[in-house]
Copies of this chain bind each other. A is one copy, B any other.
């Protein structure tokens, strides 16, 4: 990135549970001394108290439409109610006050500084463990742009999503991800899928120092229970809880360097 360009991490929370994830994610990012701004997209359904807590951790909390019947263009999509949350994620492309951003799912935890991601181009992401010629949409580098946002919405309307979620949509939209450039295929360490079914334990141990982002994908999230599932990822589950229970005052956003770079 060039000096003076604004960079930021952005996540999304449409419920109070996912907001807990977003909160911990922000704390984990602060601990890595990131110089980027932190943005949380929320829906208006989030409680007032939750929103206040998010505001104390993030630089910006942006309320976005759930893209429902208010919007004529979305009427077609109402036949696909599961796409609601998906489309809400797409709002991140509208954050054009930033020149480059990294989207992180609210169920991710950052272990090591990942500011080097801002040197990558749209769209850079990690292979999905289920079908590695697709990328996992829990972590991706993108360039905010109203044009791209509109194209994405149009694409969603016309094509739908092959998996009913944002991942299917984004993979069909950015369909050359796996063939265009090696630089767009991020090392697995940037989005380590913490799901026991995927674990290749010897590789996990061999490349442990390369784990930068842990992604609690699947239906069991850290906020659902204090007891970690068995296996290699229990340590990260515990780390999630210790960050969740830590006092937010020590994570003052006023110390963040993001404001220095945002001028």
Contact = CB atoms under 8 A, between A and B. Distances in A.
B182 A78 contact: no
Interface in A75-111: 77-78
Contacts of A201: 77-78
Instruction: Count this chain's copies in the assembly.
Output: 2
A162 B205 CA distance: 9
A131 B181 contact: no
Contact of A207 (B131, B189, B205, B206): B131
Contact of A200 (B126, B128, B180, B206): B128
A179 to B, nearest CB: 6
Interface size class of A (residues with CB under 8 A): 35 or more
Contacts of A197: 197-198
A131 B204 CA distance: 7
Interface in A192-225: 197-207
B202 A163 contact: yes
A129 B202 contact: no
A123 interface: no
A98 to B, nearest CB: 27
Interface in A108-153: 126-134
B198 A129 contact: yes
10 contacts: A74-B202, A77-B202, A127-B127, A129-B132, A129-B200, A130-B203, A131-B188, A132-B188, A179-B187, A180-B182
Interface of A: 74, 77-78, 126-134, 162-164, 168, 171, 178-182, 185, 187-189, 197-207
